[in-house]
Amino acid sequence: MINKQALIDRFLSYVTIDTESDPASDATPSTEKQWDLANKLKEELETIGMSDVSIDENAYVMASLPSNVDHDVPVIGFIAHFDTTPDFTGKDVKPKIWENYDGGDLLLNTEENIVLSPEYFDDLKQYKGQTIITTDGTTLLGADDKAGITEIMEAMQYLIAHPEIKHGKIRVGFTPDEEIGRGAHKFDVAKFGAEWAYTMDGSQIGELEYENFNAAGAIVHIEGKIVHPGYAKGKMVNSMYIATDYINSLPRLETPEHTSDREGFFHLYSIDGSVDGTKLEYIIRDHDKEHFEARKEMMIKLANELNSQLEKEVVTVTIKDQYFNMREKVEPVMHIVDIAEEAMKALDIKPLIKPIRGGTDGSQLSFMGLPCPNIFAGGHNFHGRYEYVPVESMMRAVEVIVKITEITAYRQNNITS
């Protein structure tokens, strides 16, 4: 039986450590404060009795749980990231615990009247009667992905305390900078030494994902010309007007707020503008590789058309691929998804197999030779003040990890016997 209070205490100890990453930094980890949790995790892994515990110069933490069976079992891994998004502050997180949730509104912050309501966030309704952990409305919570870290740690401690549960060698890994797309960049797959792994980085209970967006980032620079407005006729070029034309020329309904499932989008997430120059920052997403390439081509074509109309090159577009759809790497080894699905069903958890409208370390790791489907960690409303996680979902995730290790060992024994 998973110890509920111990799980809560562990989770709270993680989310109250500020680990926000920084896309403007070239260092790994991108912020020094990520070391605070990385070092804590290393110490805790040693304390609970894990083997081969290490932390490298880039704050990647790894450890092993040795096999307790006498037959060969594939080495499998579980991975989570410890940074939080720079999209919304993760400093001074003050978690609130709501026991026996009554199904109504949760007043996160009285002074600012910040309310988490099931009328707007209807997923809340399925957790009536459970224990919910939220923010106080002024920060994110950090369940993405400190819930995943908590679950992996609790599962390893549980397996150590219950040697009667048979399993092969298990590797765990905790990474920095996933939220800025660099979580797997310096992950040593050979050192990790697993045949496959699972990221514990999904959302609601039951999620099981093995396909994700193809992703790229785009920066659009528009060059203007500043002149005194009283003498500007025929001379001034206002870059912000050109930027507006560029923005409005992309498909308005192909944005995150108008798409779902496997539909791709263009997402304008930052504008920095003046008369003299404007910078637009986009992310480009699509599950379909051909559509993904077409989106990148559209952004470049639009810049060329505007330059042609203006008869000068004032718009430039720089596009950088970030990660690709892991499906092509996972489908040849679909038994690793089948094992996770079997584990959930054995625990009476309904598997929700669907594409990720985002990416995880697993998408990059799959292309680095470590096939890596994604499993629920239990949280909702990531990257903002309304983030929450049901404790019971985290407990079930721990059970799934344990069951996966058990099924993997059992399957291999049947194959070899």
What residues act catalytically?
83, 178
DSSP for residue 368:
T
Residues 6 or more apart whose Cβ sits within 8 Å of residue 179:
21, 81, 83, 84, 85, 86, 87, 144
Residue (of 339, 336, 408) closest to 366 by Cα position: 336
For residue 16, give Cα distances in angstroms to 142, 339, 369, 381.
Answer: 9, 34, 34, 18
Distance CA 297, CA 375 (A): 33
CA-to-CA distance for 272 and 79, rounded, in angstroms?
36
CA dihedral 373→378→384→388, nearest 10 degrees, is 180
Alpha-carbon distance of 151 to 132, in angstroms, equals 16
DSSP H or E segment with residue 316: strand 315-323
Residues 6+ apart with CB under 8 A from 221: 277, 278, 279, 315, 316, 317, 318
Beta bridge partners of 200: 375
Residue 417 has a CB neighbour count (10 Å cut-off) of: 6
Report strand pairing: 196-202 vs 170-175: unpaired
CB contact burial 200-228 (16+ within 10 A = b; e otherwise): bbbbbbbbbbbbbbbbbbbebbbebeebe
Measured CA to CA, the distance from residue 267 to residue 272 in angstroms comes to: 15
Report the run of H or E that residue 265 belongs to, with start and end. Answer: strand 265-273
Interatomic CA distance for residues 213 and 261, integer angstroms: 10
Q: Tell me the two tokens of residue 115.
A: 């309310």
CA distance 273 to 279: 6
